[in-house]
Amino acid sequence: MTRGGSTARAVGIVTLVVAGLLGSAYVLGRSLVPDQTPRHSTGVTTSADGPHYADQPSVGEPGGAPRATATASASAAETGPAEAGQDGSGRDAADDNLFGAHATTGTPRLALTFDDGPDPRYTPQVLALLREYDVRATFCVVGENAQNHPDLVRSIVDAGHTLCNHSWHHDVGLGARSADAIRSDLLRTNAAIRAAVPNAPIVWYRQPGGAWTYPVVSVAQQLGMTPLHWSVDPSDWELPGATKITATVLSQAAPGSVVLLHDAGGDRQGTVEALRRILPDLTARFELEALPTDPT
């Protein structure tokens, strides 16, 4: 073998060794870098503006549950049991997900409900619009927001609106926790509300995301609260814009409807603008009510 051939072989061996070492170093370095993939498991994010909530979990999201709304019941009549998820008894299977939570007012009157507040930017705007049209509504408040903004809780009650417990920090997975954990969460929320308005009745509970379970319904009832769902959901938390929110509410509203809207948990200016458009129509067609403080 010539000297040139030996040299070339030596260079080749050195090259392979260096390449192997570099590859090992890269793998080791990657293993030391924290995973940067964003995770979303609670339905809550934070920002300089405060907590932002995604009220409806995606199917398959940890702690989530499928939506159970009037839309499912309406589609059952068109698609038949197999496609609509009925169990053959004539009942829509989606109704089972409510575990007895109220989805209508039980009267010809219509109820507007506002979730996730109070919020210092949007709740006052909602209250002003309701006052302008002499409408009473129901506010499902989050405990941490009630604690942070007791003045707004007082404003809600002073205006004649009904309060509803919406958990301490909008825990979509609360219903999957132990009965003791659920009870502690709901009592903590009630305590924050009563710190602001000591004598205000709290007789309604709304589970974040509509993720109802038997335990959360049972505990709420043991604490004297009636579980509250909804029948009209324009998904305003998805920020579809005021026009779409308005169209959904006005087209789906019917006697007895419970309309789901949000006055906090994110950018709710579209909801405020939609409310400005919705109220003239709804007040002309229906009698609007705050849900009663003695639902029994």
Per the listing, tokens 């409310």 go with 275
Write down the pLDDT at residue 36.
33
The answer to whether 77 and 83 are in contact (CB under 8 A) is: no
Q: Is 115 marked active-site?
A: yes
Burial 260-272 (b: 16+ CB within 10 A, else e): bbbbbbbebebbb
Kindly state the tokens that stand for 51: 């907590």
For the chain, what percent of residues have pLDDT higher than 70? 67
Q: For every one of its 296 residues, what pLDDT tens digit does the chain have, with 9 covering 90 and above?
A: 444 455 555 545 544 444 454 444 443 443 333 333 333 333 444 444 556 665 443 333 333 333 433 333 332 222 232 333 333 333 344 456 899 999 999 999 999 999 999 999 999 999 999 999 999 999 999 999 999 999 999 999 999 999 999 999 999 999 999 999 999 999 999 999 999 999 999 999 999 999 999 999 999 999 999 999 999 999 999 999 999 999 999 999 999 999 999 999 999 999 999 999 999 999 999 999 999 998 65
- Whether the CB-CB separation of 112 and 138 falls below 8 Å is answered with yes
Phi first, then psi, for residue 98 (nearest 5°) are -85, -20
Cα(36)–Cα(30) distance, integer angstroms: 12
Amino acid 226: pLDDT = 98
Look at residue 256 in the predicted model and tell me its pLDDT.
98
CB atoms near residue 137 (< 10 Å): 25
Q: State the Rg of the chain over Cα.
A: 26
CA-nearest of 38, 42, 53 to 239 is 53
Predicted pLDDT of residue 46: 41
Identity of the amino acid at 255: P
For the stretch 34-45, pLDDT in tens is 333 333 333 444
Catalytic site residue from 55, 92, 95, 115 = 115
pLDDT of residue 294: 82
Please name the CATH architecture into which domain 80-285 falls: Alpha-Beta Barrel (3.20)
Alpha-carbon gap, residue 150 to 171, rounded angstroms:
21
Q: Choose among 113, 126, 127, 124: nearest CA to 204.
A: 113
pTM, rounded to two decimals? 0.74
Residue written as token pair 């499902």 = 140
Spans of all domains in the chain: 80-285
CA-closest candidate to residue 172, choices 52, 59, 65: 65
Query: Taking Cα atoms as reference points, which of 270, 282, 280, 286 lies closest to residue 235?
Result: 270
Angle CA 56–172–104, to nearest 5 = 60
Q: Which of 161, 170, 229, 262 does the annotation list as catalytic?
A: 262
**pLDDT on residue 54:** 55
**Catalytic residue at 262?**
yes
